[in-house]
Amino acid sequence: MRMSRFTEAKDIYAGLGVDAEAALSRLHEIPVSLHCWQGDDVTGFESSGGGTSGGIQATGGYPGKARSPKELMADLDQALARIPGKMRLNLHASYLITEKAVDRDAIGPEHFSAWAAYAKERTLGLDFNPTFFGHPLAADSLTLSHPDDGIRAFWVRHGIASRKIAAYFAEALRTHCLLNVWIPDGYKDVPADRLGPRLRLLDSLDRIFAERLPGVIDCVESKVFGIGLESYTVGSSEFYLSYAARRPGVYNLLDNGHYHPTETVSDKIPSLLAFFDYVPLHVTRPVRWDSDHVVLFDDELREIAKEIIRSEADSRVLIGLDYFDASINRVAAWIVGARNMKKALLYALLTPYGKLKALQDSGRFTELMTLGEALKTAPFGDVWGEFCRRETVPEDGGWLAGVMEYERTALLTR
């Protein structure tokens, strides 16, 4: 009888010095946090509008976006059924579930208990983000650095309330909760004062993070610029990296859409691992700018995965996805991006790092290049197919029909 493609692939990888079985079991354990906001173009459930502002934008008018918690949860179920391995769910504060209007500084665990129940039933960990955009008090794209003390205090209260929700999630689900602070603050044109806003942001962060909360891993996310905020970003990379370095328990999140185009987050991961216990990630695909396209199985994604795997940082790099494409089926967008993240991790796991590292350290660069190139055409797809089978999700080419059926019967009726 003909050997199965996986058995054959396993032998080929063994010949290259890789244990494919070990790769599959290690991959099974690495969670990826799925961002709820791909399902509804970052709109959220607040009665008073919500939506994007502050320099971020979902573009496209594909029909079927989720309009309620029920729809978003149903869509997430469709996606999760087609993504192999462990998953987490990443929520924004604007996705609270409540009958009456609750302002951002008054949110509490009670507004997220339905999400905790949803996650518990599906064995998902939860991550959380205060929402510093899509609100009348963020209309000028200034929040934690606002010159008006009253407005700034409102956003500080929102940050504190959000951390309490994160602590609630951590306790309810018995796993950490990553709490990420991203603010849009910046100016369209050359500012007259660059230091003042940063000192105000520093003070706001100190107030938000004053209390250590069990189970909460706090992080801050920088960026280069937002649309309409091109000249100055208060929360720059230098600012937040310095902040995290000085403040124990607060980490620096890397979003690979948030750097100059010739910089790579893959190279930043090991640099930060040298100093920090945790390196949270927002994995996205920036096309010429922070466009948040769906994550593809491309060179930089593979490099990011390689740095995680060869640094043995599976539980220190906290992987989350962050993109929002409104021009294609949103459930498929989740599935494609999440599967690609897992695929890239598997690709990295099927690499004989010990061997490659020994070649580098002994200066045998010709052999290093040759083996590296041979690995590129090894039968990776057969091992990926086996992973999908073992995790009881459809293989590539086998899941889209179901999503299109769901589009026809559910999404297009919205």
Residue 305: other Cβ atoms inside 10 A: 28
- Contact between 282 and Zn ion per CB under 5 A: yes
Pick from Zn ion, ligand RNT, none: which does 256 bind, CB < 5 to 8 A by kind? none
Spatial neighbors of 284 by CB under 8 A, at least 6 apart, are 255, 256, 257, 290, 292, 293, 295, 321, 322, 323
Binders of ligand RNT in range 279-338 (CB under 6 A): 282, 290, 322
Single out the catalytic residue among 40, 41, 185, 255. 255
Catalytic residue chosen out of the listed positions 35, 111, 158, 258 = 258
Dist. CA 208–CA 215, nearest whole Å? 16
The answer to whether residue 255 is catalytic is yes
Total of chain residues touching ligand RNT, rule CB under 6 A: 11
The helix-helix angle for 380-390 and 330-349 (nearest 10°) equals 120
Interactions with Zn ion, residue window 302-331 (CB under 5 A): 322
**Binding status of residue 407 toward Zn ion by CB under 5 A:** no
Q: Is 176 helix (H, G, I), strand (E, B) or coil?
A: coil
Rounded-to-integer distance, Cα 159 and Cα 96, Å: 15
The catalytically annotated residue of 40, 292, 307, 382 is: 292
Between 182 and 251, CB nearer to ligand RNT: 182
Residue 129 binding target from ligand RNT, Zn ion, none, CB below 5 to 8 Å by type = ligand RNT
Residue 34 Cβ vs ligand RNT, minimum distance, rounded to whole Å: 13
**325 binding partner (options Zn ion, ligand RNT, none; Cβ < 5 to 8 Å by kind):** none
Q: Is 182 in the site for ligand RNT (CB under 6 A)?
A: yes
Does 255 contact Zn ion by CB under 5 A?
Answer: yes
Give the C-alpha separation, 339 to 130, whole Å.
Answer: 27
Nearest approach in angstroms of CB 204 to ligand RNT is: 17
CA-wise closest residue to 91 among 4, 189, 172, 6: 172
Quickly list DSSP for 113-157: HHHHHHHHHTT-EEEEE---SSSGGGTTS-STT-SSHHHHHHHHH
Task: Measure the CA–CA gap between 259 and 111, rounded to whole angstroms.
Answer: 34
- Whichever of 42 and 161 has its CB closer to ligand RNT, that residue is 42
Comparison of 90 and 329: residue with beta carbon closer to Zn ion: 90
Determine if 382 is a binding residue for Zn ion (CB under 5 A): no
Q: How far is the CB of 385 from ligand RNT (least distance, A)?
A: 32
Q: How far is the CB of 165 from ligand RNT (least distance, A)?
A: 15
Nearer to ligand RNT, 185 or 386 (CB): 185
Instruction: Look up tokens 């396209």; give the residue.
Output: 293
- Separation of alpha carbons 154 and 174, rounded Å: 30
Contact call for residue 386 and Zn ion (CB under 5 A): no
Separation between Cα atoms, residue 258 and residue 244, nearest integer Å = 17
| CA 178/CA 249 separation, integer angstroms | 11
In the bound complex, what is the minimum distance in angstroms from residue 182's beta carbon to Zn ion? 6
Among 23, 27, 56, 301, binds ligand RNT (CB under 6 A): 56
Catalytic residue among 282, 293, 342, 343: 282
Tokens 């059926």 -> residue: 405
Give catalytic residue positions.
182, 221, 223, 255, 258, 282, 290, 292, 322
Residue numbers of the site for Zn ion (CB under 5 A)? 255, 282, 322
